[in-house]
């Protein structure tokens, strides 16, 4: 019986996929996970590379998972991702066909920490076969910085992620944390504190603004910590230059008059001495 063109193409792809499975299964895979560390709110790339001998062969199906759940799956143009990663995951299709199945994870959160494993899935008529490719251990850290600024300057606190919910402050000589900003709460956000795109700005620093500032996420975890030292900046002093009086007729005449008076006063004394 003669096969239709579409069925014949699918049969060829299945054969290619089975050949790929054999190559991957026989190749040496990494003995342990690759470690990736990323600051919260940034973009992380979880590496996944096909072997060079797999180039120019169709990629059937790729998926990423944690030890507990499926995270991402892509089969051609069809994609699926877990709800907690919605809108944050991608495996570029053009890269996938080139043998790169690296997972792009945007706006990294502390909850993303853990072990991720990538697999190639070969669809057969009745069964699916998964072949392990790479495991990646992801760790996430917060932002830390120290600043020294002058009185009257503006402190710009970067929020780093849309998940940032609060900015709190602890004075240099205090043990109490004070809420300076809360997303969506206009009662808290007032006075010298202003919210702009992705930042919170404290206008006109004073000496009592020295201390520690923290940006917290919805779980109360620290996205960033900024230790600020406000220094008193001396005002610029204007130098006053006193110029000598210009030499002119009035100056000469004034000096001559003083000389005549002086001579008249000492003349009798001179005559007595003589």
Residues 230-262 have pLDDT tens digits of: 998 744 434 443 344 443 444 444 445 555 545
Q: Is pLDDT larger for residue 234 or for residue 47?
A: 47
With a cut of 80, say whether residue 138 has pLDDT above it: yes
User: For residue 227, is it within any domain?
Assistant: yes
Strand partners of residue 148: 229
User: For residue 206, is it within any domain?
Assistant: yes
Q: 40 and 105: one domain? A: yes
At 81, is the pLDDT very low, low, confident or very high (cuts 50, 70, 90)?
Answer: very high
Q: 41 and 127: one domain? A: yes
Per residue in 171-197, pLDDT (tens digit) is: 998 999 999 999 888 665 555 788 888
Collapsing DSSP to helix, strand or coil, 35 comes out as strand
Out of 35-49, 50-64, 90-104, 188-202, pick the least confident: 50-64
d(Cα 112, Cα 107) in Å, to the nearest integer?
10
Mean pLDDT of 153-169: 95
Q: What range defines the domain where residue 38 resides?
A: 34-141
Res 250: pLDDT: 44
User: For residue 60, is it within any domain?
Assistant: yes
With a cut of 90, say whether residue 61 has pLDDT above it: no
With a cut of 50, say whether residue 224 has pLDDT above it: yes
User: For residue 243, is it within any domain?
Assistant: no
Sequence-ordered list of residues with C-beta below 8 angstroms from that of 75, at least 6 positions apart, any chain: 60, 61, 62, 121, 123
Res 232: pLDDT: 87
Q: 128 and 157: one domain? A: no
Pairing of strands 128-141, 143-150: unpaired
DSSP 49: B
Q: 52 and 137: one domain? A: yes
Q: Please state the domain count of the chain.
A: 2
Q: 154 and 208: one domain? A: yes
User: For residue 59, is it within any domain?
Assistant: yes
User: For residue 29, is it within any domain?
Assistant: no
Q: 91 and 176: one domain? A: no
Res 86: pLDDT: 94
Last residue of a domain, which of 117, 141, 165? 141
Query: How far from chain centre, in Å, is Cα 216?
Result: 15
At 59, is the pLDDT very low, low, confident or very high (cuts 50, 70, 90)?
Answer: low
Q: 65 and 123: one domain? A: yes
Res 194: pLDDT: 86
d(Cα 125, Cα 14) in Å, to the nearest integer?
9
Residue 95: phi and psi, rounded to 5, are -70, -35
Of 103, 96, 139, which Cα lies nearest the Cα of 118? 103
CATH of the domain at 204: 2.60.40.10
Out of 86-95, 211-220, 258-267, pick the least confident: 258-267
Q: 210 and 150: one domain? A: yes
Please provide the distance, in angstroms rounded to a whole number, between the alpha carbons at the two ends of the chain.
Answer: 156
Prediction pTM value: 0.69
User: For residue 193, is it within any domain?
Assistant: yes
Q: 182 and 202: one domain? A: yes
Q: 45 and 132: one domain? A: yes
**What would the two tokens of residue 203 be?**
């206008």
Sequence-ordered list of residues with C-beta below 8 angstroms from that of 180, at least 6 positions apart, any chain: 167, 168, 169, 188, 193, 200, 202, 213
User: For residue 71, is it within any domain?
Assistant: yes
**What would the two tokens of residue 251 be?**
């100056």
Say if residues 181 and 137 touch (Cβ distance below 8 Å): no
Sequence-ordered list of residues with C-beta below 8 angstroms from that of 133, at least 6 positions apart, any chain: 24, 29, 48, 49, 50, 101, 118, 119, 120
């Amino acid at each position: 019986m003669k096969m239709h063109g579409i069925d014949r193409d699918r049969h060829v792809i299945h054969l290619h996929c089975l050949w790929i499975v054999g190559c991957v299964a026989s190749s040496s895979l990494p003995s342990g996970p690759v470690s990736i560390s990323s600051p919260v709110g940034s973009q992380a790339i979880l590496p996944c590379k096909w072997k060079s001998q797999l180039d120019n062969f169709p990629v059937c199906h790729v998926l990423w998972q944690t030890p507990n759940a499926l995270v991402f799956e892509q089969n051609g143009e069809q994609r699926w991702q877990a709800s907690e990663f919605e809108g944050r995951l991608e495996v570029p299709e053009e890269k996938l066909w080139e043998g790169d199945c690296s997972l792009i994870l945007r706006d990294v959160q502390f909850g993303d920490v853990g072990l991720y494993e990538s697999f190639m899935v070969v669809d057969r008529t009745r069964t699916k076969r998964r072949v392990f490719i790479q495991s990646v251990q992801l760790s996430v850290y917060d932002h830390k910085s120290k600043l020294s600024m002058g009185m009257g300057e503006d402190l710009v606190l970067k929020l780093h992620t849309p998940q940032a919910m609060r900015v709190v402050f602890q004075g240099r000589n205090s043990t109490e944390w004070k809420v300076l900003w809360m997303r969506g709460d206009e009662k808290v956000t007032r006075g010298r504190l202003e919210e702009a795109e992705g930042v919170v700005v404290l206008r006109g620093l004073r000496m009592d603004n020295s201390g520690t500032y923290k940006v917290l996420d919805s779980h109360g975890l620290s996205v960033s910590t900024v230790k600020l030292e406000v220094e008193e900046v001396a005002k610029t002093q204007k130098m006053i230059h006193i110029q000598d009086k210009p030499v002119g007729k009035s100056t000469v005449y004034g000096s001559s008059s003083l000389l005549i008076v002086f001579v008249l006063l000492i003349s009798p004394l001179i005559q007595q001495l003589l």
